[in-house]
């Protein structure tokens, strides 16, 4: 990515806020009475999004903050808080969704993340916008590049989780769209096939 593209990139702080918004919105979709399959799909999706987000912050955002705000109390406890999140993710992955403590462990993850996100949004992000003002787009570009690398091996998994969390009615619509897509691909391929004699 060249310097010009980097300058046009959205800021790293905007991207971090957007990630937080997505994860919090998914937390609110968790229904303890939903089927084990759809609860697990939502939890898997949230866990993967959190893993990628925390890794991006640790590789790109926190080191940049360390250069300008070392000693910041919130910055100092950020990685230990990520460790706590990773620990809860590990516990959830080792449980079946019908395990008695599956929902309460997910709620604990929700509490830890909400507390951590509040600290980032009220302390670290405003500090970054003050102290790293001229680097926000360049860091945003670096984050986008790394995000693509980290998400690529999980593309199929993410698509599957999205379908598993859908209510049956939208699943039918999605299935219809997939079938229609397959039909169109076949038709367009058909046009290039030479008639056999």
Q: Is the dihedral angle over the CA atoms 40, 41, 45, 46 positive or is it negative?
A: negative
Near Fe ion by CB under 5 A, which window of 38-46, 50-58, 90-98, 187-195?
50-58
Judged by CB under 5 A, which stretch of 34-42, 49-57, 149-157, 187-195 contacts Fe ion?
Answer: 49-57
In 3-state terms, what secondary structure has residue 193?
coil
In the complex, the smallest distance separating the C-beta of residue 94 from Fe ion, rounded to whole angstroms, is 23
| Cβ distance to Fe ion smaller for residue 31 or 83 | 83
Based on CB atoms, which residue is closest to Fe ion, 118 or 178? 118
Which one, of 128, 112, 109, lies nearest residue 45 by Cα?
109
Would you say 65 or 102 has its CB closer to Fe ion?
65
Least Cα distance to 37 among 192, 184, 166 occurs for 166
Least distance from Fe ion to the Cβ atom of residue 13, Å: 10
Residue the block writes with tokens 């079946």: 96
Query: With CB under 5 A as the contact rule, which of the stretches 3-11, 100-108, 113-121, 151-159 interacts with Fe ion?
Result: 113-121
Counting contacts by CB under 5 A, is residue 57 touching Fe ion?
yes
Residues 146-185 that bind Fe ion (CB under 5 A): none
Is the Cβ–Cβ distance between 117 and 11 less than 8 Å? no
User: How distant is the alpha carbon of residue 47 from its chain centre?
Assistant: 8
Contact 142, 60 (CB under 8 A): yes
- Residues of this chain that interact with Fe ion (CB under 5 A) are 57, 120
């Amino acid at each position: 990515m060249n310097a010009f593209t980097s300058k046009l990139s959205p800021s790293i702080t905007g991207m971090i806020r957007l990630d937080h918004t997505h994860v919090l919105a998914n937390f609110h979709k968790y229904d303890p009475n939903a089927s084990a399959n759809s609860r697990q799909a939502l939890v898997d999706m949230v866990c993967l999004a959190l893993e990628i987000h925390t890794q991006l912050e640790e590789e790109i955002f926190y080191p940049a903050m360390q250069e300008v705000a070392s000693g910041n109390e919130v910055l100092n406890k950020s990685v230990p808080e990520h460790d706590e999140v990773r620990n809860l993710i590990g516990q959830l992955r080792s449980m079946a969704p019908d395990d008695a403590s599956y929902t309460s462990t997910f709620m604990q993850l929700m509490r830890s993340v909400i507390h951590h996100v509040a600290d980032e949004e009220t302390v670290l992000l405003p500090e970054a916008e003050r102290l790293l003002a001229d680097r926000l787009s360049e860091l945003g570009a670096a984050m986008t590049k790394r995000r693509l690398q980290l998400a690529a091996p999980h593309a199929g998994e993410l698509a599957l989780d999205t379908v598993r969390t859908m209510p049956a009615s939208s699943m039918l619509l999605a299935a219809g769209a997939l079938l229609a897509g397959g039909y169109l691909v076949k038709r367009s391929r058909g046009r290039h096939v030479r008639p056999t004699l």
